[in-house]
Structure 1
Amino acid sequence: MSEYILTQADYLLRIFLAALCGLVIGYEREARLKMAGIRTHTIIAMAASLMVVVSKYGFFDVIKIDGVSVDASRIAASVVTGIGFLGAGIILNHKRSISGVTTSAGIWATLGIGMAIGAGMWALGIGSTLLLLGIQFFFHKNWRILNGSNAGKILLHMKKGDDTRERIVSALTNMNIQVISTHLNIFDNSFIEVSLSVVFPKDFSAENTMTLMANYPEIASIDL
């Protein structure tokens, strides 16, 4: 009985650790205001670990029966296939602007981390989590320097009917900030959320960001 409890505790610990790794990855995504955050990544990692544990260890009782053979990888393979619908749902295409690809790829990687930990590959899962976080942090800060671009987003919250958007677009133009696309969401017929995809000039700095937000309180966030 004690051996059974220890075995089940080991399985549960794997699932818990996978959920923790997913939580850390999701926290980094949510801190950057991405579509899939803490809950999504945590649930994906936990569920992947659970399914691999079931796939690998859940059929020991029937293996003992003569003539019964079980493929321990079949559920794991189905999990990898099934995550595609979730990743595809995150990717958005609006006016030739595609967003959500990195988050979708991160979800795929989180799935793999959960599967690795569920299979008992603790070091591989934890190491992959640290590697994924390192990639996200490094390229978020340095990619625009490496490829010479400075694209970003500006998110506005304003009352419907105001000319705030036009004034802000004019101000951005005066600051040599190029507006690529605009996306509007209307809430309760009174408030509007405007997402602007822009290209900042190379000399645009954090100080310019604070000045712009101070002059226009309607700007909810700026993602450089």
Structure 2
Amino acid sequence: MKLLIKKLKKLMNRSKNDSIWLRFCGWILIFSCLISFHSFPVRAEAYRCVDVQEKRIALSFDDGPHPRLTPKILEILKRYNIHATFFMIGKNVRDYPETAKLVAKDGHEIGNHTDSHIRLCGLGKKRVERELEECSLQIQKVCNQTPGLFRPPEGAVDTAVLSAANDKEYRVILWSIDTRDWESKNEGAIVRRVLSSVKPGDIILMHDFISYNSKTPEALERLIPKLLARGYEIGSVGELLRIGS
């Protein structure tokens, strides 16, 4: 970009006899290049769902690991031979390394959910990069996985977040179904929320680190057989992306 602008300036100033109109057009061209360069620096995209032909959906769990909830969820998934995606917070991996290891041992996909679970919008690219790097280091150290998927806290993204994720070669993953398990005290409501809108390619959001009144394991226990009865295959986000591509 800098080289292009330099050449344009040189072309515009090469002769004192150049018309004012030519110079004006040249400056307009430079201005347009600058606007385009600064307005569209990001190639990353955020996936809410995946375009698939098969009846495939993905299960994802945010905010863990947690020694009370995560093992219960793992036991249910193992019983149905389902692999899911766990978007882990770096701090929780440090606090509960043995629980994090259980997730990896069971063959689940582990994603980056930042180191501190801070809302990233407005923080700037360098802070976002630090959050990604610290979380990734913890996951690599404890789980022996290098995460390739990233879910921003609260699903909040701006240009800096997408740019940092792009530079770190992450796929940004949001969701198409929010179970709102973090606020629901009734597992039936969580199950109905999913079943009322589920469709092929959906990415379902649940949590394995919320209040001690969490009904996520109970809801998952009821939800999985109902989804299977409808003919859905359930897997990780990575599996869904591979099928979609």
Scaled by the length of structure 1, what TM-score is found?
0.28
Which structure would you say has the larger RCO, counting Cα contacts within 8 Å and 6 or more residues apart? Answer: 2
